Amino acid sequence: RALTVLDERISGCRACPRLVAWREEVAQVKRASFREEDYWGRPVPGLGPADARIAVVGLAPAAHGGNRTGRVFTGDRSGDWIFAALWRAGLANQPTSVHKDDGLELTDVRVCAAVRCAPPANAPTPEERDTCSPWLARELALLPRLRVVVVLGGFGWTALWPVLSAAGYALPRPRPAFGHGAEVTLTGPHGTLTLLGSYHVSQQNTFTGRLTEPMLDAVLGRATELASS
Ligand code: SF4
């Protein structure tokens, strides 16, 4: 219930003028192949149950993906990758995510983004990241069983430090560098939390082979192992 309320509040946020203008312009102009669809054109909340022990944090919704469908990672190539991987890891009931009512259900994992609105060129500014980070903090705080955060990309990795510091976690100095397979375990008020780094599932990584399916499977396998330990 609390997550549902949070999702509704996030969906109405207009705190970043540049992103509000972009998400709404994209929703009006549309891509030709989706011109018959009603775009969401608003912030995209997270997806997954409140008893999740694993969170997956991406960068931001795609203009014609989450910004179109209204569901995180849904309807774009990045989503094809992450939901297929979650399915292979036993965390999703189907390997595809094409629209809001396609029957997708996640188990033990909550998927969200560091920035909730589609940015121009897929590139939020540091200021926009900081403006949006309280939503991420509230979302993670509403996952009482959370044990592992899989962070897709260095942008989300950087976004998490102030969120975790504010939540009472003791952070190492210097901050651990982001990398694929990076693993950091933190101690906080409710026990330990492990961060796992993965290259983002964006096309510049998946098309070039920088991120492969076995590489992503290895990180999610480690996440399920840690969550169950
Ligand atoms: Fe609000 Fe986040 Fe969207 Fe900015 S990016 S308008 S803070 S939901």
Question: How close is the Cα of 2 to the center of ligand 1, in Å?
Answer: 19
For the beta sheet containing 148-152, the strands, ordered from the edge strand earlier in sequence to the opposite edge, are: 109-113, 54-58, 148-152, 191-198, 183-188
Instruction: Tell me which of 40, 122, 128 to substitute to probe ligand 1's pocket, judged by most ligand atoms within 8 Å of the beta carbon.
Output: 128
The verdict on the CB of residue 16 being under 6 Å from ligand 1 is yes
User: How far is 125 from 43, CA to CA, in rounded Å?
Assistant: 16
The verdict on the CB of residue 19 being under 6 Å from ligand 1 is yes
Q: Supply the Cα-derived Rg of the chain in whole angstroms.
A: 16
Reported ipTM exceeds the 0.95 cut:
yes
| Residue pLDDT, tens place only, 171-216 | 999 999 999 999 999 998 879 999 999 999 999 999 999 999 999 9
Q: Are 169 and 127 in contact (CB under 8 A)?
A: no
Q: With bands split at pLDDT 50, 70 and 90, how would you rate the model's confidence at 153?
A: very high
Looking at the chain, the whole-number percentage of residues with pLDDT higher than 90 is 96
Q: Spell out a b/e string for 101-128, using b for 16 or more CB atoms within 10 Å of the CB, else e.
A: eeebebebbbbbbbbbbbbeebebeeeb
Residue with tokens 């969120």: 163
| Residue pLDDT, tens place only, 47-90 | 999 999 999 999 999 999 999 999 999 999 999 999 999 999 99
The verdict on the CB of residue 15 being under 6 Å from ligand 1 is yes
Atom 2 (ligand 1): residue with closest C-alpha?
132
pLDDT (mean) for 133-162:
96
- Mean pLDDT for all residues in the chain: 96
Question: How close is the Cα of 168 to the center of ligand 1, in Å?
Answer: 24
Specify the pLDDT at position 93. Answer: 98
Atom 3 (ligand 1): residue with closest C-alpha?
117
Indicate which atom in ligand 1 lies nearest the CA of residue 14: 6
Indicate which atom in ligand 1 lies nearest the CA of residue 23: 3
> Which are the contacts of 207, defined by CB distance < 8 A and separation ≥ 6?
none
DSSP readout, the chain? -HHHHHHHHHHT----HHHHHHHHHHHHH--GGGTTS----S----BS-TT-SEEEEES---TTTHHHHSSTTTTSHHHHHHHHHHHHTTSBSSS---STTS---BSSEEEEESS-SPPGGG---HHHHHHHHHHHHHHHHT-TT--EEEEESHHHHHHHHHHHHHTTPPPPSSPPPP-TT-EEEEEETTEEEEEEEE---SHHHHTTTSS-HHHHHHHHHHHHHHHH-
Question: How close is the Cα of 106 to the center of ligand 1, in Å?
Answer: 24
Does residue 174 have a cis bond before it (omega within 30 degrees)? yes
pTM comes to 0.96
The verdict on the CB of residue 223 being under 6 Å from ligand 1 is no
The verdict on the CB of residue 215 being under 6 Å from ligand 1 is no
Question: How close is the Cα of 128 to the center of ligand 1, in Å?
Answer: 7
